[in-house]
Amino acid sequence: MEATGSFFQVPPSLGNQFDDDRVVRGYLERVTPPELRQNWEGELRGLGEASGGRLYRMQLEDRLQEPRLIPYDPWGKRIDQIELTPLWKEAARIAATEGLVATPYEGGLGAWGRVLQFAKVYLFHPSTDVYSCPLAMTDGAARTLLTHGNQGLIDRAVPRLTSRDPERMWTSGQWMTERTGGSDVGISETRAVQDHEGNWRLHGTKWFTSATTSPMALTLARPEGNPEGGRGLALFYVQVSGEDGWRNRILVNRLKDKLGTRKVPTAELTLDGALAQPVVGLTEGVRSITPMLNVTRTWNAVCAISAMRRSLALARSYARRRVAFGAPLSDKPLHLETLAGLQAEYEAGFHLTFFAVELLGRAEHQEATETELLCLRLLTPVVKATTGKQVVSVVSEAIECFGGAGYVEDTGLPLLLRDAQVLPIWEGTTNVLSLDALRALGKGGEGLIAFREEALRRTRAAAGTEAEELARRGVEGLERAGAWLQRAREGDPRALEAGARGFLLTVGRSMALCLLAQQAAWSLQRGDRRPLLAGRRFLAHGLDRLGSQPLEEAAALALDERAEVASPA
Ligand code: MFK
């Protein structure tokens, strides 16, 4: 039967996601040596085409599919198989052949390998329903194994983790979270016991294990007799499955029923005497797994900017098609104002993130200066937390640009928001990362001093252009954060803790502005004012998030909701 009425809204569409993206293209043109960029262009264009075309269509078709746990075979044997969705199977193939994990480990590109890898991840992520999650952990596992130099484990796993052959490539899990929680990892309950043959066996429950289909995982457990806390844990390698159908003693209890990332087969596991090998010693597990955390936090930031960009690409397309009150939305001043504000946030987040990517590459290739290393330690929590907050508000606002259609599942738009909401949560919540940032500053605030030095370099790069003022304002933001920090460190430690998030966000936004100013200065020379306009708008949103409200007020407001007044005024 024909629907009544003659109007049907034209849905948004996507073009080549590399060709259409002036931000990533402008950035790559500014930072990468021309001979490298020319080599990369074809690969990036191909991925941009798939991301805006074939993969995007497949993502919409795959919308209702979810991974399925098959606990038993037809004859009652426990198999705990997880069946993945068609989109994820295709994503796994592309991830291997495109070298989404392999690229920085292949050597030929040196530190630039990280830039190419993450430019690809940025194009791949928003059309593949968070297949970036297992890839992030795989990258983190390869980096962690290489850092610790356990040659047997390196030989066994790293060639697999970094393979470009879809048949050979392994992904890796990272099993940290237990029922005791995901933040305070030091109170983990899993025990490691040596059996009579001297093998280590793990007993415990892992409460939130993404990438449960991976053939290996890195995890933490407490060797018997070790003290409490993170220092008493050890980092273990677990082979989950192997040749000829061999399976370790691991039971999949159930898959998690999550708000988003529905394609990610996150599971609860019982380690029932699972065989494991220590990666590096039998203590200091939390410290030993930090290379993993720093890599996955960088992935998290790249996925955040990528999701912001996708939501904006769709909203921009829709704005040109949607006619209301007699004109397309793209002619409406308030709609343009809204989109421009979102673009400014995304653009600043983009440059902050790729600065972290550059520094990670330089650090891994021993090319980073002392200042850059100090900067990177602080930047990793800062960029993860800053972009994690941005992505939820940007994507939420972007789907509002579709009106009711943004709230309807089969447009594919609500997925954007659900999948964004995980980004400030996993890999360290905003508050946990804010506390990590305080630690990462060093006793004398060396991290912040390094930030300021890097920021001043951007001011010099923008000198004599209209963008100089932006860079200067970014440096001033860092200086205000520094003054706050000095006062807070001299005062009540609880007030310092209470202000940690405001400090982190101020530092993140100020540094982002300096980096955007550098890009703006470069673009101005080529006649493109858009990065400058983005920087001005971002500045207008404000850099400062520094708080100075009395602690007692927070306690009264946060917890006390009794109707009666404790003592009459
Ligand atoms: C889209 C891509 C996304 C990726 C998908 C992944 C999906 C997986 C889902 C998950 O698994 S989410 C769970 C992830 N869990 C976390 O991110 C943990 C969050 N909690 C923290 O980060 C806490 O700060 C921490 C567990 C590290 C605190 O534990 P402790 O036991 O209090 O450790 P402590 O004393 O702070 O740090 C121990 C040592 O490590 C110290 O060094 P020293 O021993 O030399 O003093 C720290 O300085 C050092 N350290 C801590 N964090 C570090 C670090 N070093 C370098 N980098 C860091 N980030």
Instruction: Determine the distance separating the centroid of ligand 1 and the alpha carbon of 290, expressed in angstroms.
Output: 5
Residue 560: per-residue pLDDT: 85
Taking residues 221-239, what's their average pLDDT?
A: 97
450 and 408 part of one domain: no
As to burial, measured by CB atoms within 10 angstroms (0-12 exposed, 13-18 middle, 19+ buried), residue 10 is: exposed
Rounded to whole angstroms, how far apart are CA atoms 289 and 293? Answer: 7
Q: Is the pLDDT assigned to residue 565 strictly greater than 90? A: no
Q: Inform me whether the pLDDT recorded for 568 exceeds 90.
A: no
Residues 331, 405 within the same domain: yes
Atom 45 in ligand 1: which residue has the minimum CA distance?
Answer: 287
- Cα(113)–Cα(100) distance, integer angstroms: 10
User: Are residues 482 and 399 part of one domain?
Assistant: no
Do 176 and 241 fall into the same domain?
yes
- For residues 385 and 390, give the distance between their C-alpha atoms in angstroms, rounded to a whole number: 9
Residue range 311-354, pLDDT digits in tens: 999 999 999 999 999 999 999 999 999 999 999 999 999 999 99
301 and 414 fall within a common domain: yes
Check whether residue 260 and residue 358 sit in a common domain: no
How high is the pLDDT of residue 566?
63
pTM of the entire predicted model? 0.97
Query: Minimal CA–CA distance to 506: which of 373, 378, 395?
Result: 378
Q: Which atom of ligand 1 is nearest to the CA of 184?
A: 26
The yes-or-no verdict on residue 130 having pLDDT over 70 is yes
Q: What is the CATH number of the domain that holds 190?
A: 2.40.110.20
Tell whether the model's pLDDT for residue 504 goes beyond 90: yes
So what's the pLDDT on residue 563? 85
Q: pLDDT tens for residues 354-408?
A: 999 999 999 999 999 999 999 999 999 999 999 999 999 999 999 999 999 999 9
Amino acid 99 reads G
Pairing outcome for strands 216-223 and 172-175? parallel
Shared-domain flag, residues 277 and 297:
no
pLDDT digits (tens, 9 = 90+) for 404-425: 999 999 999 999 999 999 999 9
pLDDT greater than 90 at residue 552: no
What is the separation of C-alpha 116 from the centre of its chain, rounded to a whole number of angstroms?
A: 17
User: Is residue 152 assigned to a domain?
Assistant: no
> Are residues 416 and 448 part of one domain?
no
Question: Could you tell me if residue 2 is inside a domain?
Answer: no
Ligand 1, pocket residues at CB < 6 Å: 132-133, 136-137, 174, 176-177, 182-183, 185-186, 208, 210, 229-230, 286-287, 290, 293-294, 296, 299-300, 303, 426-428, 432, 436, 439
Mean pLDDT, all residues of the chain: 96
Same domain for 474 and 389: no
* Bridge partner residues of 251 (DSSP): 270
pLDDT at position 420 is 98
d(CA 503, CA 226): 36
Is residue 244 predicted with pLDDT exceeding 90? no
Q: Where does residue 146 rank: exposed (0-12), middle (13-18), buried (19+ CB within 10 A)?
A: middle
Distance 132 CA to ligand 1 centre (A): 20
From 286, 312, 340, the end of a domain falls on: 286
How is 298-341 classified by DSSP, letter by letter? HHHHHHHHHHHHHHHHHHHHHHHH-EETTEEGGG-HHHHHHHHH
Q: 3: pLDDT confidence band, cut at 50, 70 and 90?
A: low
Percent of the chain past pLDDT 70, that is, above it, reads 99
**Pair 353, 408 in one domain:** yes
What average pLDDT does range 135-144 have in this prediction? 98
Number of domains in the chain: 3
Report the separation in Å between the CA atom of 378 and the middle of ligand 1, taken as the mean of its atom positions.
13
Q: How far is the CA of 379 from the centre of ligand 1 (A)?
A: 14
Residue 246: per-residue pLDDT: 92
Q: What is the CATH number of the domain that holds 409?
A: 1.20.140.10
CB 346 within 8 A of CB 303: no
Range 270-280 average pLDDT: 98
Both 472 and 525 in a single domain?
yes
Q: How far is the CA of 430 from the centre of ligand 1 (A)?
A: 13
**Domain span holding position 232:** 172-286
Give CA–CA dist 127/139, Å, rounded. Answer: 20
pLDDT of residue 211: 77
Mutate to test the pocket of ligand 1, among 177, 292, 293, 297 (most ligand atoms within 8 A of CB): 293
Residue 167 domain-assigned (yes or no): no
Handedness of CA 105, 361, 346, 45 (dihedral sign): negative
